[in-house]
């Protein structure tokens, strides 16, 4: 007779402890998934984005995003080394995910001590200080470059 | 097909096992098997696996952690409800099933949530009407006048109003985020933009004060006002709004305290529950006893006395968990909520558009605030307010509304290349 009462109680106690253990094993698995997820996020793109925020030495030029329009850009400022390409294509330095922007839209290249802006025959054109860019133009401190709805400021 | 989906299924299985183990453990203490309940719970387990399989088979790439965490909370809630009010379990199982269906539908329906921004005023009007319906036609069930009865259906409109208000505020604030940062008027240390830009916020303040006074629904008032404030802060990044809003709310609360006796009672039993432990403060005092007697591992399911707390299966279910599963169980529940909110904010941070980002952040903040208010209430950290604990408390409106919230977050958390998003 006692076994008939004891057994269900025993099963109940074991199940209750296993329930708590299962909850914590669940938490362990979830945190493990989050951990591997955090490692994945440290991809080159995000590292580059983080680097973009840092103060650059004064000799490198930068493009500062003045008006991001509705487009999510990787960063608020981009440093220009030897050259910088802008466009919708994934291989560009600044990827602008907007139908208004051409696949390879524009590029900036360094020649001696000057930076030159070129429009790569884009469909919707590039504007420098509200003027259409038709030929290679050299950039000066404070120039505003407009591509689609996005405005960049050139700084060096 | 994918390692993440396999992990998702594994942790879903763990959640299901918790539900089964808990239900059988409670059955065993009575030495009888309640077959309808076991069949219902097995059916639910089957339904959430089917939902997961369908969502992944259709190529949805939402966050693999959101659903399992919610399911774990639901499992804990079902076990506690079965132990506290066995007769209500079948109803709750039905509501969970409806919730999972709502989750699956909204996970796909809200994939293009951007389009909802077009209907922001419709959303806003729906939200305000739902809140007003509770204020005007509210029926008193269990102390709060926040139920609406339409024929055979009775529901708590404030749970659904939450959704509409968040979508409306997200769209409204997103359009005006620049205007909100304009400052042209100074009131001492506070700098404010022109009144007409903050008018909707004042409307929300007025509504919440009405809820507070007419409905005695302190929890929902605090929740809605908190949502409006937090979302304004997230959209504008200006702390002025939070300071101004908190001042307005405190002012309103002080006026209510001096005018209305039910508010005075709430605050008095919060400040000193021991002045009337068997009368007005009975509920909170019993809750404190339950929390205190739980200890580290708790008394064990069915070995405690949580049924001494009135309304234990809805608002006070956290006290019952703390009593019977102890610190181990209560801490696990809190960690589950923290992880869920973290994933929701992560979805907000990764969202590509400001509007979707604000919707996700608003829903995350609303859920977090709700959890904070009710757990703060039952542990006597805040004055007690009756709102439900998401995914755990008994209640159809709350369960379905929270699953829809989860579905929206799930849809927003999906990262898809822009070109495929047409």
For the stretch A43-76, pLDDT in tens is 544 444 444 444 344 467 888 887 777 677 777 7
- Does pLDDT of A113 surpass 50? yes
Name the residue among B232, B235, B211 with its Cα closest to residue B221.
B211
Question: What is the CA angle A67-A69-A72, rounded to 5?
Answer: 100
Residues of A in contact with B352 (CB under 8 A): 72, 97
Whether residue A15 and residue B332 make contact (CB cut-off 8 A), yes or no, is: no
Between residues A101 and B167, the one the model is more confident about = B167
Count Cα neighbours of B334 within 13 Å in the Cβ-side half-sphere.
14
Residues of B in contact with A8 (CB under 8 A): 28-29, 31
Rounded to whole angstroms, how far apart are CA atoms B167 and A128? 38
Residues of B in contact with A28 (CB under 8 A): none
So what's the pLDDT on residue A103? 82
Rounded to whole angstroms, how far apart are CA atoms B259 and B266? 13
- Cβ-based neighbours of B334, under 8 Å, separated by 6 or more: B375
Q: Does A36 touch chain B (CB under 8 A)?
A: no
- Asked if residues B147 and B138 have their Cβ atoms less than 8 Å apart, the reply is yes
Split at pLDDT 50, 70, 90, the class of B301 is confident
Q: Does B18 touch chain A (CB under 8 A)?
A: yes
Whether residue B21 and residue A18 make contact (CB cut-off 8 A), yes or no, is: yes
In B211-316, alpha helices (H): 218-236, 239-259, 261-271, 282-294
Q: How far apart are the first and last CA of chain B?
A: 25
So what's the pLDDT on residue B360? 94
Q: Does B335 touch chain A (CB under 8 A)?
A: yes
Mean pLDDT of B246-255: 84
So what's the pLDDT on residue A156? 76
Paired tokens of B294:
């739980």
Split at pLDDT 50, 70, 90, the class of B23 is very high
User: Percentage of chain B with pLDDT > 70?
Assistant: 89
For the stretch B309-332, pLDDT in tens is 888 888 899 999 999 999 999 999
Among A19-28, B53-62, B131-140, name the one with the lowest average pLDDT.
B131-140
Mean pLDDT of B212-216: 72
User: Percentage of chain A with pLDDT > 90?
Assistant: 11
- Asked if residues B372 and B39 have their Cβ atoms less than 8 Å apart, the reply is no
Paired tokens of A111:
């020649």
Distances (CA, A) of A62 to A2, A70, A114: 82, 21, 13
- Does pLDDT of B207 surpass 50? yes
Exposure string of B136-172, with b = 16+ CB inside 10 Å and e = fewer, is eebeeeeebbbbbeeeeeebbbbbbbbbbbbbbbbbb
Q: Does B331 touch chain A (CB under 8 A)?
A: no
- Asked if residues A132 and A122 have their Cβ atoms less than 8 Å apart, the reply is no
Distances (CA, A) of B138 to A16, B33, B135, B157: 41, 40, 5, 9
Paired tokens of B137:
């036609």
So what's the pLDDT on residue B55? 92
So what's the pLDDT on residue B7? 86
DSSP for B339-358, written as a single string: HHHHHHHHHHHH-SSHHHHH
Whether residue B65 and residue A34 make contact (CB cut-off 8 A), yes or no, is: yes
Portion 85-114 of A in contact with B at CB < 8 A = 97
For the stretch B34-75, pLDDT in tens is 889 999 999 999 999 999 999 999 888 888 999 999 999 999
- DSSP 8-class letter at A56: P
CA distance A145 to chain B (A): 22
Mean pLDDT of A144-151: 82
Q: Which residue of B has its CA nearest to A73?
A: B352
Which pairs with CB-CB distance under 8 Å and at least 24 residues apart come from B285-289? B286/B310, B286/B319, B287/B316, B287/B319, B287/B378, B287/B379, B287/B380, B288/B379, B288/B380
So what's the pLDDT on residue B252? 82
What is the phi/psi pair of residue B287, to 5°?
-65, -40
Rounded to whole angstroms, how far apart are CA atoms A148 and A128? 12
Q: Does B327 touch chain A (CB under 8 A)?
A: no
Distances (CA, A) of B73 to B8, B68, B253, B315, B339: 15, 9, 33, 15, 12
Between residues B104 and A43, the one the model is more confident about = B104
Average pLDDT over chain A reads: 78
- Nearest by CB to A25, which of B14, B68, B300? B14
So what's the pLDDT on residue B113? 83
So what's the pLDDT on residue B117? 83
CB neighbourhood size of B421 (10 A): 12
- Nearest by CB to A15, which of B28, B329, B352? B28
Give kind and range of the element (H or E) at residue B369: helix B354-378
Mean pLDDT of B9-21: 93
Count Cα neighbours of B38 within 13 Å in the Cβ-side half-sphere.
13
Q: Does A50 touch chain B (CB under 8 A)?
A: no
CB neighbourhood size of B43 (10 A): 11
* Interface predicted TM-score of the whole assembly (ipTM), two decimals: 0.87
Distances (CA, A) of A85 to A45, A81, A104, B314: 15, 11, 7, 59
Whether residue A29 and residue B14 make contact (CB cut-off 8 A), yes or no, is: yes
- Nearest by CB to A8, which of B28, B335, B354? B28
Between residues A19 and B5, the one the model is more confident about = A19
Average pLDDT over chain B reads: 85
User: Percentage of chain B with pLDDT > 90?
Assistant: 37
Q: Which residue of A has its CA nearest to B64?
A: A33
So what's the pLDDT on residue B193? 65
What is the phi/psi pair of residue A108, to 5°?
-120, 130
Rounded to whole angstroms, how far apart are CA atoms B331 and B375? 12
Rounded to whole angstroms, how far apart are CA atoms B20 and B71? 13
């Amino acid at each position: 007779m006692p076994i008939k009462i004891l057994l269900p109680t025993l099963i109940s106690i074991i199940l209750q402890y296993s329930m708590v253990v299962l909850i914590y094993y669940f938490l362990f698995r979830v945190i493990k998934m989050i951990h591997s997820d955090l490692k994945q996020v440290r991809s080159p793109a995000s590292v580059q984005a983080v680097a973009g925020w840092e103060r650059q030495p004064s000799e490198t030029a930068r493009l500062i995003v003045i008006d991001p329009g509705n487009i999510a850009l990787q960063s608020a400022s981009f440093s220009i080394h030897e050259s910088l390409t802008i466009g919708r294509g994934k291989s560009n330095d600044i990827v602008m995910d907007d139908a208004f922007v051409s696949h390879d839209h524009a590029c900036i290249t360094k020649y001696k001590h000057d930076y030159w802006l070129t429009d790569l025959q884009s469909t919707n054109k590039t504007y420098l200080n509200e003027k259409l860019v038709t030929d290679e133009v050299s950039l000066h401190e404070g120039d505003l470059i407009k591509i689609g709805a996005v405005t960049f400021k050139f700084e060096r | 097909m994918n390692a993440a989906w396999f992990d998702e299924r594994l942790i879903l299985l763990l959640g299901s096992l918790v539900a089964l183990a808990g239900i059988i453990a409670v059955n065993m203490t009575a030495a009888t098997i309640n077959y309808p309940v076991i069949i219902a719970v097995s059916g639910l387990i089957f339904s959430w696996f089917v939902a997961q399989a369908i969502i992944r088979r259709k190529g949805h790439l939402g966050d693999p952690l959101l659903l399992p965490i919610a399911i774990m909370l639901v499992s804990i809630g079902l076990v506690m409800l079965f132990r506290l009010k066995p007769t209500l379990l079948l109803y709750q199982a039905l509501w969970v099933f409806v919730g999972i269906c709502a989750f699956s539908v909204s996970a796909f329906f809200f994939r293009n949530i951007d389009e909802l921004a077009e209907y922001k005023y419709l959303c806003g009007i729906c939200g305000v009407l739902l809140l007003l319906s509770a204020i005007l036609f509210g029926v008193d069930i269990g102390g709060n006048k926040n139920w609406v009865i339409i024929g055979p259906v009775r529901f708590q409109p404030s749970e659904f109003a939450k959704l509409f208000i968040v979508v409306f505020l997200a769209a409204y604030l997103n359009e005006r985020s620049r205007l909100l940062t304009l400052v042209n008027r100074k009131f001492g240390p506070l700098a404010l933009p022109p009144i007409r830009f903050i008018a909707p916020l004042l409307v929300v303040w007025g509504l919440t004060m009405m809820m507070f006074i007419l409905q005695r629904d302190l929890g929902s008032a605090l929740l809605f006002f908190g949502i409006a404030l937090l979302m304004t802060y997230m959209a504008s990044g200006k702390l002025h709004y939070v300071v101004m809003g908190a001042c307005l709310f405190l002012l309103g609360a002080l006026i209510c305290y001096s005018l209305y006796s039910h508010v005075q009672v709430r605050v008095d039993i919060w400040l000193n529950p021991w002045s009337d432990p068997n009368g007005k403060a009975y509920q909170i005092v019993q809750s404190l006893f339950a929390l205190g007697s739980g200890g580290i591992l708790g008394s064990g399911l069915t070995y405690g006395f949580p049924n001494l707390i009135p309304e234990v299966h809805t608002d006070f279910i956290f006290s019952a968990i703390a009593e019977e599963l102890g610190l181990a169980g209560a801490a696990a529940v809190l960690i589950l909520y923290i992880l869920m909110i973290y994933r929701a904010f992560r979805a907000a941070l990764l969202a590509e558009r400001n509007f979707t980002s604000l919707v996700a952040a608003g829903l995350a903040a609303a859920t977090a605030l709700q959890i904070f208010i009710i757990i703060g209430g039952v542990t006597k950290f805040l004055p007690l307010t009756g709102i439900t604990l998401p995914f755990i408390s008994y209640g159809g409106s709350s369960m379905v509304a929270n699953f829809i919230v989860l579905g929206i977050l799930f849809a927003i958390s999906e990262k898809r290349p822009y070109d495929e998003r047409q």
